[in-house]
């Protein structure tokens, strides 16, 4: 039975938590929080990330999946029109004793055009993936992946920055308007006082 998560919960586990608290238990058949961890195949025909996930979402998509092997030593990472290309990887170690727990491999999705030259997803986004696996080779064919469209994430950040800049400009303009208004009132008050003094001087002189 799938585990549900409470409203307001945000899924932001550390790498260590992913392999210890989620990947290991999932491999051994324990239930996963279905609201945040999907069980789907991400490799194969018509499995481009934008066909599986909302490309306009700035959120990460977490999946539990089984790797497809091309042969005994190679993983087949083809997905639809392209494939997931490895960029780098890091070891995941226990924060207490330094024991090797697993690996975090970083991928970028790249399409192939007619000349077999790899290009990114064009208008479909800039998709990246962190693949978390266990160090135990007997359990390494199952992984948890964090997939997201960086274009959507970067786009939101840019919009937020633009909004902040606009708010800042509006705030400065409001402050300038207030200063100008205060100065106008002050000038009007000074002029009124000067006119009053002049009238008083004329009145005294006439006497």
Instruction: Give pLDDT tens digits for 98-127.
Output: 999 999 999 999 998 755 455 555 688 999
User: Does residue 110 lie in a domain region?
Assistant: yes
- Does 202 have pLDDT greater than 60? no
Candidates 103, 89, 108; CA nearest to 132 is 103
Report d(CA 187, CA 178) in Å as an integer.
14
Domain at 87, CATH number: 2.170.150.80
Q: Which residues contact 128 (CB under 8 A, 6 or more apart)?
A: 106, 107, 108, 109, 147, 148, 150
Report d(CA 82, CA 90) in Å as an integer.
24
Higher pLDDT, residue 197 or 171: 171
User: Does residue 157 lie in a domain region?
Assistant: no
pLDDT bin (cut points 50, 70, 90) of residue 2 is: low
Domain that holds residue 61: 15-149
Instruction: Report yes or no: 147 and 42 within 8 Å, Cβ to Cβ.
Output: yes
User: Does residue 188 lie in a domain region?
Assistant: no
Q: What is the pLDDT of residues 129-179, one digit of tens each?
A: 999 999 998 888 999 999 999 999 876 555 555 554 545 545 555 555 554
The pLDDT, as a whole number, for residue 46 is 94
Structure tokens at 51: 């066909």
Report d(CA 66, CA 26) in Å as an integer.
11
The pLDDT, as a whole number, for residue 34 is 75
The pLDDT, as a whole number, for residue 51 is 95
Higher pLDDT, residue 127 or 185: 127
User: Does residue 38 lie in a domain region?
Assistant: yes
The pLDDT, as a whole number, for residue 170 is 54
How large is the average pLDDT for residues 69-80? 91
User: Does residue 183 lie in a domain region?
Assistant: no
Report d(CA 32, CA 37) in Å as an integer.
7
User: Does residue 131 lie in a domain region?
Assistant: yes
Report d(CA 195, CA 48) in Å as an integer.
80
Percent of the chain residues past pLDDT 90, beyond the cut: 55
User: Does residue 25 lie in a domain region?
Assistant: yes
Does the pTM surpass 0.75? The reply is: no
Strand-pair category, 61-66 with 37-39: parallel
Quote the number of domains for the chain. 1
User: Does residue 160 lie in a domain region?
Assistant: no
């Amino acid at each position: 039975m799938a585990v549900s998560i409470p409203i307001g919960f945000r899924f932001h586990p550390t790498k260590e938590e992913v392999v210890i608290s989620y990947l290991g238990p999932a491999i051994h058949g324990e239930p996963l929080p279905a609201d945040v961890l999907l069980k789907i195949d991400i490799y194969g025909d018509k499995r481009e990330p934008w066909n599986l996930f909302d490309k306009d979402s700035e959120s990460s998509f977490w999946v539990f999946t089984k790797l497809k092997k091309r042969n005994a030593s190679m993983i087949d990472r083809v997905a639809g029109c392209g494939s997931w290309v490895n960029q780098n990887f890091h070891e995941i170690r226990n924060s207490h004793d330094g024991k090797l727990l697993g690996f975090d491999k970083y991928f970028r999705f790249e399409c192939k055009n007619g000349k077999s030259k790899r290009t990114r997803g064009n208008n479909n986004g800039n998709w990246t993936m962190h693949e978390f696996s266990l160090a135990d080779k007997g359990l390494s064919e199952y992984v948890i992946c964090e997939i997201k469209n960086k274009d959507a994430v970067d786009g939101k950040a840019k919009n937020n920055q633009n909004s902040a800049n606009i708010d800042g400009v509006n705030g400065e303009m409001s402050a300038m308007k207030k200063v100008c208004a205060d100065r106008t009132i002050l000038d009007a008050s000074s002029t009124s006082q000067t006119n009053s003094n002049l009238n008083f001087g004329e009145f005294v002189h006439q006497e």
